[in-house]
Amino acid sequence: MYQSNQIFNSSQLVPDKLTITFTETPEAKASNIKVVDQNNVRIDKNDLSISESEKKISTSLDKSKINSGIYNVNWLVLSKEDGHITKGAYVFSLNNNNSSQQQQPQIINQSHIFSKNYIKENLNVTLEVHPFKAGYNTFNISVESIDGVSVENIKNVFLEFNNHDKNIGPLVDTMKQISVGKYGSSGIFISQPGNWEIKVIVQRTGAYDVNHSLDVNIP
């Protein structure tokens, strides 16, 4: 078992098979998993198998095609129970040189930072991304009221990533609270250069969610 954004330090640690478990039974004729590298070359064996009793879909990985890099997992399933379709995506990476490690999100203070501020529903929100390039990034969100007062009723802050040109996403991450109004997250959500949509979702207790989308170009 592994998680989204997991970094493998050896190709030997990459599993032979990728399995996703759902809460409803998948319909075999309309479900799929596709795993591609940074060049959109497929690295799974296109041998989808479904376990109705365990509500799982699986595909084997061609480990001869897996080298150091970032890989996108895209999946789509049709529920056999009520016919609705769900889809999603996540990433994992292989780093044979062991130079990148998962880190706890933290407030960063560096020169090469993408920063965007906006005001919506009386909230003053700032998103910062470092180092703002394809691969591993740190994301920080600051939320306060327009009069500078801390917002106490924030339940969660989510980031959603989509690259519509390359059919990647949605990738959704729940940010970790660092302090009141400060949230951080790190990972390989932006896996390739190009045009990306980053949606910031501020979930509040006793109030409507505040959603805002930003279109960014990743070099």
Residue bearing tokens 């190009």: 194
- Per-residue pLDDT reduced to its tens digit, 68-100: 877 888 888 888 888 888 877 777 777 765 444
CATH of domain 7-94: 2.60.40.1220
What is the distance between the alpha carbons of residues 219 and 215, in angstroms, rounded to a whole number? 13
Q: What are the residue ranges of CATH 2.60.40.1220 in the chain? A: 7-94
Contact (CB, 8 A) for 36 and 74: yes
pTM: 0.62
Which residues lie below 8 Å from residue 39, measured CB to CB, with a gap of 6+? none
Residue with tokens 């989308």, as numbered in its chain: 213
Q: What is the tens place of the pLDDT at every residue in 12-30?
A: 677 788 888 888 888 888 8
In the structure encoding, which two tokens stand for residue 82, read together?
């009520």
Q: What is the pLDDT of residue 36?
A: 87
Q: What is the DSSP string of 100-143?
A: -----------SS-EEEEEEETTEEEEEEEES-SSEEEEEEEEE
Question: Residue 154 burial (CB < 10 Å; 0-12/13-18/19+)?
Answer: buried
- Give, in degrees to the nearest 5, the angle at Cα 172 between 171 and 175: 140
3-state SS class at 44 = strand
Model confidence at 102, in pLDDT bands (50, 70, 90)? Answer: very low
Chain region(s) in the chain for CATH 2.60.40.1930: 114-218
CATH fold label, 114-218: Immunoglobulin-like (2.60.40)
Instruction: Tell me the C-alpha distance between 140 and 120, whole Å.
Output: 18
Contact 169/160 with Cβ under 8 angstroms? yes
